[in-house]
Structure 1
Amino acid sequence: MPNSLIETPKVTKGMDTELLGWILGVGSLLIISTNLLVAAALILLIRRKGGQSWCFVLNLALADALVGVAITGVATTAINARTTLTHKTKCLMCMAFVTSPTAASILTMFLISLDRYVAIKFPLRYYCISSPRTTISTLTVLWLLSFVVGFLPGMVRQMQQSHYSGVCTFFSVIQPKTIILVFCTCFFPVLSVFIYFYLDILKIACGHQQQIHRTRQVASHMPATSCFRRHLKALRTVALLVGCFTISWSPFFIVSVVQVLCQACTLYSIIENDLWLLGLSNSLINPLVYAFWQREVRQELCTIFGRLAQVVPLTAFRGCHTEHNLSTVVTGMQGSLTHALPLYSREGNHSSTQVRAPTSF
């Protein structure tokens, strides 16, 4: 075994590990809160409009929220690393619960991209394929595959480190070569398919735009144009998601490949601390992209905040209801008295002495 693998826990042990734990703790709270908020908006959107495509986006938000939940365990382990040793099985489970929703998030973005690709490439076939049964089956297979990838190091002993010192880090409990090989065989093919999808869709969009330009010279009303534009708008959002995903995770996988090819390089601490943290930030970027880029999600978020704004003042000023009711009674009494005042001045100018009851005081 290379010396770098044995010294990896020493590199990450100490104050740096504790600081990393606090950073992960704060990041996990942000990831959980933002993804749950977007998930609530998506549930309202699905109930109001329907649509199988939004179910994939909801699955992405839930997967990223589970990433945040799993990070809390890693953060707790990192903060207590100086005083408490972690059992190997517990460390493997902790890493598996981080890897599984991360893989589910990546595969869900692939499904969202595939869904938009089929909707634009084969519109008639898309409406035949898109059904609740197809969506449930696809998501079930996705999560099963994600759990297999996440829990594979715990099931296969050859993927585990033979020497474990009790400090729970990614490469201190899992063999770097095997897990990097699994990650790269999943990451680079998915990224290649992403690139193919968008190059092909860009070609379709250019041809369709020329067709729209020619048709506008003949007819002014084209119902298919708005549908196509809606698909393209959704596709731009997915393209932004894939771009953020590439920027977040590419350094992690590229440096991991360099580490596997260069045994003399000691890049494990950079991969575990800096680049892995950059990759996990993608789970916070995804809900922000939908919250600020997708109009339908923004509308549902405004609805949620609007309802909260109506509930909070009612609960905050609940103690003032008695005083308000009392002032209303006094107002009603004064209004009735002012109606009776003109009865005692009939001899004079009625218009000058008549007093109208005020509506408010």
Structure 2
Amino acid sequence: MNDSATNTTFSPALLYLNTTVLNITSYQNSSLLAVTNATTSSTSTVTQPRPQTNSTLATFTTLATLTTLTTTPAGTLASINVPYMAAELVIAFLSTVGNLLVCAAVGFNRKLHTVTNYFLVSLAVADVCVGALAIPCAIMTDLGIPRHNLYLCVLMLSVLIMLTQSSIFSLLAVAVERYVAIFMPFRYHSTMTPRNALLVILITWVLAFLIGLVPLMGWHKTPPGDGFCFFVSVVEMTYMVYFNFFACVLTPLIVMFLIYAQIFLTVKQQMRRIAADRGGQANSEGATNIKKEMKTATSLFLVLFLFTVCWIPLHIINCFLLLCPECYVPLPLLLTAIILSHANSAVNPFLYAYKMKSFREAFKGIFLCCRGSGEGQDHHDDGRVATIHKS
């Protein structure tokens, strides 16, 4: 009853849709059984001279009800949720296109070749994979695909876990890089070299890959007999809560928030000290550099804050589902949390364009180049295209 009637989903985020439909189905089963039992009791009271026939009828009615509920194809339940799937496809498109634009901006603009931006590119690559791989796989597993292939199923269900972990490690690398830039400025250029940044990115992806594949190493449930690839039927909730959330998500987030808190407090104290030394005028070169670092740190902290806002609700609901199985969670709330978590992959390019002038100018340059190259086919004498390419 539980496995076959569960609405199929994918990823730690989509786990909650599975569990909710499971709870709703169980509730419907209980209600129908209660009605069946009530009908059976009533029939037994009226037809006491034929107890054996009524008992057989009651058993047949109960079995028929359970058979109808448990043999309903999972795809039937999933196909009803058209708005949810449409929202997933829109997020997948925005995430893929937007983060590819971020990678192109850093790749083609030498001014953006900084260690910080290398880590942001790593974050963008993870978000591109969410849009191009994870969400399409989520739609596939929503239909129970692949079937009767446990290892491929667990591998697909682990993709978003791996990508989410890579995003967290990239954000942690950005926070540490900002910490070194502000608290150890004389050692920054010798420590935060492009080579070291690429090495850190490689390490973060390897660690994220290993953490995401822990279920494939054996920490998973025995699949149901029907062979459908359901997240809730395959992935252990203890892994999702105790290992993935508490150890691999919550702990790095706490460390990052402490780093940014110390950065903001220290920069504020330095600004006050410079203003006091200058008699209330903080227009020196040091103050200008500090303001620039503060602005950059604020923008990057906003990226971290949005990531936390988008993902923590799902993890909290996950904890409720594991630690309080009898607690009822409304389906609309879960769907909102799922969409919110996936939307985080699409929001960062908009944030960069709004908060960071260098990215905004790079995006404009890319759009103008694309439009200029298209117009140049018909207007060869347009000097504006040459100017753009020259710049």
- TM-score surpassing 0.5? yes
Distance verdict in 2 for CA 1:164–1:43, change over 3 Å: farther
**Cα offset, 1:308, TM superposition:** 1.2
Distance verdict in 2 for CA 1:196–1:242, change over 3 Å: same
Distance verdict in 2 for CA 1:246–1:5, change over 3 Å: farther
Q: Deviations over 1:228-286 (max 9, x none)?
A: 22211111111111111111011111111122211334659779754333212111112
Is 1:168 the counterpart of 2:223 in the alignment? Answer: no
**Cα offset, 1:159, TM superposition:** 2.2
Cα distance in 2 for partners of 1:42, 1:303 equals 12
Q: Deviations over 1:92-126 (max 9, x none)?
A: 12122222122111211111122112211222222
Partner of 2:212: 150
Is 1:181 the counterpart of 2:242 in the alignment? Answer: yes
* Residues 46-57 of structure 1 mapped to structure 2, 5 A cutoff: 47-48=110-111, 50-57=113-120
Cα distance in 2 for partners of 1:141, 1:134 equals 11
Paired residues in the alignment total: 314
Partner of 1:31: 95
Is 1:201 the counterpart of 2:271 in the alignment? Answer: no
What's the RMSD between the two structures over aligned residues? 2.9
Partner of 2:309: 247
Is 1:229 the counterpart of 2:285 in the alignment? Answer: no
> Which residue of 97, 109, 126 corresponds with 1:63?
126
Partner of 2:155: 93
TM-score (norm 1): 0.77
Contact 2:146 2:152 survives alignment (8 Å) = no
Cα distance in 2 for partners of 1:16, 1:111 equals 42
Contact 2:215 2:235 survives alignment (8 Å) = yes
Cα distance in 2 for partners of 1:5, 1:114 equals 44
Contact 2:275 2:282 survives alignment (8 Å) = no
Larger Rg belongs to = 1
Q: Which stretch shows the higher mean deviation, 116-125 or 11-20?
A: 11-20
Partner of 2:107: 43
Partner of 2:71: none
* Residues 256-335 of structure 1 mapped to structure 2, 5 A cutoff: 256-265=318-327, 273-315=335-377, 317=378
Distance verdict in 2 for CA 1:97–1:106, change over 3 Å: same
Contact 2:146 2:229 survives alignment (8 Å) = no
Is 1:122 the counterpart of 2:184 in the alignment? Answer: yes
Cα distance in 2 for partners of 1:258, 1:220 equals 50
Q: Counterpart of 1:163 in structure 2: which amino acid?
A: P
Q: Counterpart of 2:293 in structure 1: which amino acid?
A: H
Distance verdict in 2 for CA 1:22–1:84, change over 3 Å: farther
Distance verdict in 2 for CA 1:273–1:159, change over 3 Å: farther
Q: Counterpart of 1:146 in structure 2: which amino acid?
A: A
The alignment-based identity, stated in percent, is 23
| Structure 2 portions without partners, runs of 5+ | 9-20, 23-73, 382-391
Is 1:211 the counterpart of 2:270 in the alignment? Answer: no
| Structure 1 portions without partners, runs of 5+ | 325-361
Distance verdict in 2 for CA 1:274–1:171, change over 3 Å: farther
Distance verdict in 2 for CA 1:240–1:214, change over 3 Å: same
* Residues 123-142 of structure 1 mapped to structure 2, 5 A cutoff: 123-142=185-204
Partner of 2:57: none
Q: Counterpart of 1:98 in structure 2: which amino acid?
A: L
Q: Counterpart of 1:215 in structure 2: which amino acid?
A: D
Partner of 2:64: none
TM-score (norm 2): 0.72
Partner of 2:48: none
Contact 1:25 1:75 survives alignment (8 Å) = no
Cα distance in 2 for partners of 1:251, 1:97 equals 20
* Residues 336-351 of structure 1 mapped to structure 2, 5 A cutoff: none
Distance verdict in 2 for CA 1:214–1:74, change over 3 Å: same
Distance verdict in 2 for CA 1:132–1:171, change over 3 Å: same
